[in-house]
Structure 1
Amino acid sequence: MSYKSLFNRLKNIIISPSAEWKEIQKDELTGLNVVHQFALPLIALSAIAAFIGTAIYLEGFNVEESLKKALLVFVSLFSSIYVSMGAIYFLMPKFNLTQDRNNVFRFVAYSSAVIFAIKFVTELFPELFFLKILNLYTAYIIWEGVTPIFNVDEKDKASFVVFCSFVIIAGNYAVFSLLRILMPGF
C-alpha cells in the first residue's frame, strides 16, 4: 500500500465510513498486512509527532524525554491494537459470530483510524487536547463496519458495537496509562 493510498483510506474511513467499509470488504489484504501497511505507518507518524511535540514544548531540548514520549506513544498504540484484537476475537462467540483473525485484525486496524489521527495532532500540538473527544467518532466507524466485516445480526449489532467501541477506545487509554505507570519519571 502506497502512502497516497494509505492517506486516502484514512480520509475515506473518517469521512465516509459506510462506503469505505464496503471497499475494505472487497480487499484481498490479510489482517496482518493491514496492520503492517495501514496501522504501523500511522502509529509511527504519531510517535514521530510525539518526539517533535515533546522537543518543541518541553523547556529546553531534551532528547531523552522526547525519545521516551515517542516510545511510549508507539508501544501504547501498537499494544492497544493487539489487546483490542484479542478481546474482540475472544468474545466473538458471545455475539454469535464466527471467529476470524483476519477480519478482526482488519476491523480493529481500520476502526482505530480516528484514534491514530487524533493522537498525531494532539502529540504535535498538545494545546489541542480537547480534540480527544472526537475519539468517540470511532463508535460510528465501528457501527458502519460491523455489518460488512462480520455480518452481525441486527439484534446483536448494538451490543457488539458498544463492546467494540469500549474495547478500542478505552483499551487505548488503559494501555497508555499502564505503560506510563510502568515508565518511571514520565
Structure 2
Amino acid sequence: MNLSELRESLPPYADDLRVNLGRVLLGTPLTDAQAWGAALACAIAARQPVVIGVFTAEAAARLDAPVVDQARAAASIMAMNNVYYRAQHMLGGARHPIGLRMRAITSPALAAAGVTKADFELWCLAVSAIAGCEVCLQNHDQGVRRAGLDSGAVHEALRIAAVVHAAAVTLDAAG
C-alpha cells in the first residue's frame, strides 16, 4: 500500500484526515529528509502496522537507506526517552542520572548517512509530540532551533506527527 491507497482506505468520516495527509506530506516546505524521516519515525511511534508499512515504503522510495535507518533510530531512542523523561516529569523532576545510553542523538552515523543534527532533532520532536512528553518536546524544540531551523519547521513537523498519528488511530478504529 502507498500513501494514496492509505488515504483512499480511510473511512468516509475521516475525509478531513484524507485531505490533510496529502496537504501536510505532499505540500510541505520541509526537505524530503525532514518530512519523510519525521513521517516514518511518527508511524513507528504510532504503532499501527499498516501505517508503519506505508511510511516505510514511502520513505524508502524518497530517501537513501542510511537516512531511513536514522529515522528509525530516532523513533527507537525516543521510545525509551519519552517514557523515562515523561515519567520523571510526572514525578516532579529527575532524581537520578538517567544512566541509559543515548548515542544515537550524537552518533557519527548521522553525518555518515547525510542526516543533519537539525533533521534528527526534528524527528525526535515529532515523535515526542505523539508520546506527549513535555520535557522531550521542549528539549528537541531548543535543539531544532540551535541547529538552525525556525518555528515554521517545528510547526510542519508537528502537523506531520498529528496526521500520521490520526491515520493510525483511524485505521485501528475502523478495524
Q: TM-score, normalising length from structure 2? A: 0.31
Higher relative contact order (CA 8 A, sep 6+): 2
